[in-house]
Amino acid sequence: MSKKQVTAGYWANVWQRFRSRSAGRLALRSLGVFVLIAFLAPFIANERPLYAKLEGHTYFPLLQGMLVDMGWRTWDAKLLPAEDWLDKSYDKVWYTFIPYSPASIDHRNLNARGPFERQRVESWRFRHWLGTDKTGRDVAAGMLHGTRMALWVGLVAIGVALFFGLSLGGLAGYFGDQGLVIHKSTLAIWALCLPLGLYYVVYLPGMSYEPSWISQVLAILAYLSAPLILAMLLSRVFKRILPKSGQITLPLDTLLMRLLEIVDAIPATILVLALIATMEQPDTTYMMVVVGVVSSASVARFVRAEFLRVRKQTYMEAGRALGFGHFRLIFRHALPNAVGPLLVLLSFSMAGAILTESSLSLLGIGAADRVTWGSILGGLRGQHEIEWWLAFFPGMAIFFTVLTFKYLGEGLSEALGEK
């Protein structure tokens, strides 16, 4: 312990209070377990053996497969074809704990074998502990990799929501209706340059045919930032040249509220579905970006309210009086004081995003090849006789994940001293 910690800081206090409740502690631990599973899933459930001896040679198919998937290596000729790993005749082999990948099909156990039913397997080592689904995929492997997907989609969704929500809500809340006073020429320049940037992003001129996604992203960033930089430079120049009298106040807050009213007017579920429909073959990440964009409205509203509250605090006034710039005031003073409540909101949004993803894949919308908790449940849709293991395990996983994030949020908000 260093001397600095004699007077515990704000966050240390929050942490203390958070840890003092068993619910929060439990939630944090179970989050740890989920993250651990998400990282280790390929090493727990994989059809590729950890270690295999084939005709006198030693191989590590799992590790090699990872390098191959990343495009850094090719398969050794002996291991080809790189499929049906369970049917190869090895001299010696070590499998992972569950010797199945989420997508590997066990042709001897098709049509949903239950965990307690007779399974046609060689030994207990190859038993499907949580049964198989209709196409003969191992449920346990699907569950483990589903954890990975669930956390990933949650992170993507809240990341996107945070980006848009924070920038829009932050600006509106920080400046309010009276705070942003700019020169008329600046407004005119921005009103020209911003649409121009968007126009170039839509049409992306100068791109080769079928560009790679990296060059697309780079081009989008370039086309977005170039007009912005141009606008900044131009507005500085014009501000110097033109007389100082042409100042106007931009009602940022009202503008944002109008925008949010429009987003609110369209039911979120339908908006998400319609946005997903515009994609020919939506993949899970894209779907979550859509969910993030739609839910950024609530983040923006929240951040706006927080910033409006923070704005009136005396330390902000002091900062303004000392002549700090907007940038410093926002990032050093306003934002850190809004982080706590924001974390609570994000924790709840994470739960919401995971629920949304699982309900979308339950409905069969999105990528069919990825196994997620929702897609395991989705096999049961509109069916009269339901295999209990296909409903029970993924459902429990969703329930516990959602509960974890909700308790995390609840614990945080209590620790922060809200309510």
Partner 1 sequence: MLRYFLNRILLLAPTLLVALVLTFGLSRLVPGDPVEQADEDNLEKSTQKETELLRMYRRKAARLGLDKPVFYFSIQPAAYPDTLYKIPFRNRREMLIALLRQNGNWPAVEQYFVEIGNFKTGLQKLPDTLRSEARSSLAQVINDLQFTADFSVAQAQLQTMGGLLQKDPVLQQGMGNAYMQLLESFQYLQAHPQKAKLYLPAFKWLGFDNQFQDVLSGYLRGDLGLSYNDGKPVNAKIGRALVWTVLLNVFALPIAYFLAIFFGVRMAVGKGGRFDRRMNNVLFGLYALPAFWVALVLLVVFSNPDWGMNFISITGMMDLDKNSSWGEWIRVGARQLIVPIICLIYPAMTILARQMRSSMILALNQDFVRTARAKGLSEKEVIWKHAFPNAAFPLIAFFGSLLPELVTGSILLESIFNVPGMGRLLIYGMGTQDWPIVFGIMILGSLLSIIGLLFADLAYAWLDPRVRFGAESNPIAQV
Q: Which residues bind partner 1 (CB under 8 A)?
A: 196, 199-200, 203-210, 258, 261-262, 264-267, 269-271, 273-275, 277-280, 351, 355, 358-359, 362-365, 377, 380-382, 384-386, 388, 391-392, 395, 398-399, 402-403, 406-407, 410, 419
Helix axes 22-44, 388-415, angle to 10 degrees: 140
How near is the Cβ of 262 to partner 1 at its closest, in Å?
5
Q: Closer CB to partner 1, residue 136 or residue 197?
A: 197
Nearer to partner 1, 65 or 409 (CB): 409
Task: Select 170 or 227, whichever has its Cβ closest to partner 1.
Answer: 227
Asked if residue 83 lies in contact with residue 92, where contact means CB atoms within 8 angstroms, the answer is no
Cα separation, 271 vs 374, whole angstroms: 20
CB of 102 to partner 1, least distance (A): 20
- The minimum distance between CB 404 and partner 1, in angstroms, equals 9
| In the complex, least distance from residue 311 CB atom to partner 1, rounded to whole angstroms | 18
Closest CB 410 distance from partner 1, rounded Å: 7
CB atoms within 10 A of CB 51: 15
122 vs 210 by CB, closer to partner 1: 210
User: How many CA atoms lie less than 13 Å away from 414 in the CB half-sphere?
Assistant: 16
Which residue lies nearer to partner 1 by CB, 214 or 262? Answer: 262
What number of residues does the chain have?
Answer: 419
Whether residue 81 has a cis bond before it, omega within 30° of 0? yes
Helix runs in 242-366, H state only: 252-265, 268-277, 284-311, 314-321, 326-328, 335-362
Single-letter code of the amino acid located at 148:
R
Chain-centre distance of CA 37, in angstroms?
A: 17
Nearer to partner 1, 7 or 22 (CB): 22
**Which residues does 107 contact at the CB level (< 8 Å), separation at least 6?**
136
**Residue 151, phi then psi, degrees to nearest 5:** -65, -40
Per the structure block, which two tokens stand in for 1? Answer: 């312990």
H or E element in which residue 59 lies:
strand 57-59
Q: Given the complex with partner 1, which of 69 and 369 has the nearer CB atom?
A: 369
Least gap, CB of 140 to partner 1 (angstroms): 19
Amino acid at 331: F
**Smallest distance, partner 1 to C-beta of residue 143, A:** 14
The SS3 assignment for 345 reads helix
3-state helix vs strand vs coil in the chain, percent to 5: 65, 5, 30
Q: Which of 295, 358 has the CB closer to partner 1?
A: 358
Q: How far apart are CA 194 and CA 111, in angstroms?
A: 56
Minimum gap (Å) between residue 297 Cβ and partner 1:
13
